[in-house]
Amino acid sequence: MAIITTSYTWTQTPDAVELVVPMRGVQAKRVDIVCHDVYVKLHFPPFFFELDLHAAVEPAQATATIGAGQVVLVLPKAEKGVLWPQAAYEPDAAVGEGAVDAATERRARRAAASERTLQREQAKRDAEDAAASQAKRDAVAQQIAVENAHRAADAAAREAERRTVAAELDAFQAST
């Protein structure tokens, strides 16, 4: 069973947030890190840490440093220049008939973050596929151009040979 770790320290600049999560005996090859735009999860058996972030970050530019019994995450903020009052997200304390409890709101927020990450990754894969496909089309077009140039050169050489032979034949017929 996982040991849920809730202790962390954090600092921030106007452009980034740094989270330091203590994990005794942490090894880089055994740590799983999941970073969405508003959610971070670390798993190093048997330790487990998760944090709903106060605001969005840029997960593609996030960095992790692992060692000395801790994991240090540097998360660039999506909205630069804004200081956060706390690192953790605190759901609104809405009261009344339409109110959603905090756990449900966190789950919905995490699911939305996961969906956005999947969409970004799919868009990235689609762009890479399109670039690879375009590169293949360009290579085929280049090969066709090279083959056409060879055919044209061969045709020109054959035509020159035909003219030379025709001129020699005309010269021979004229001399006889």
Is the per-residue pLDDT at 51 higher than 70? yes
Compute the average pLDDT of residues 145-170.
96
CA dist., res. 4 & res. 16, Å (int) = 25
- pTM for this entry: 0.70
Work out the mean pLDDT of the chain and round it to a whole number: 92
Compute the average pLDDT of residues 109-132.
95
- Give Cα 6 to chain centroid, integer Å: 29
Per-residue pLDDT of 1-14, as tens digits, reads: 788 999 999 999 99
The CATH code of the domain at 1-90 is 2.60.40.790
Per-residue pLDDT of 65-110, as tens digits, reads: 999 899 999 999 999 999 999 999 987 755 555 556 888 888 999 9
CA dist., res. 173 & res. 13, Å (int) = 95
Find all residues with CB under 8 Å of 127, minimum gap 6, and list them.
none
* SS3 readout for the chain: CCEECCCCEEEECCCEEEEEEECCCCCHHHCEEEECCCEEEEEECCEEEEEEECCCECHHHCEEEEECCEEEEEEEECCCCCCCCCCECCCCCCCCCCCCCHHHHHHHHHHHHHHHHHHHHHHHHHHHHHHHHHHHHHHHHHHHHHHHHHHHHHHHHHHHHHHHHHHHHHHHHHHC
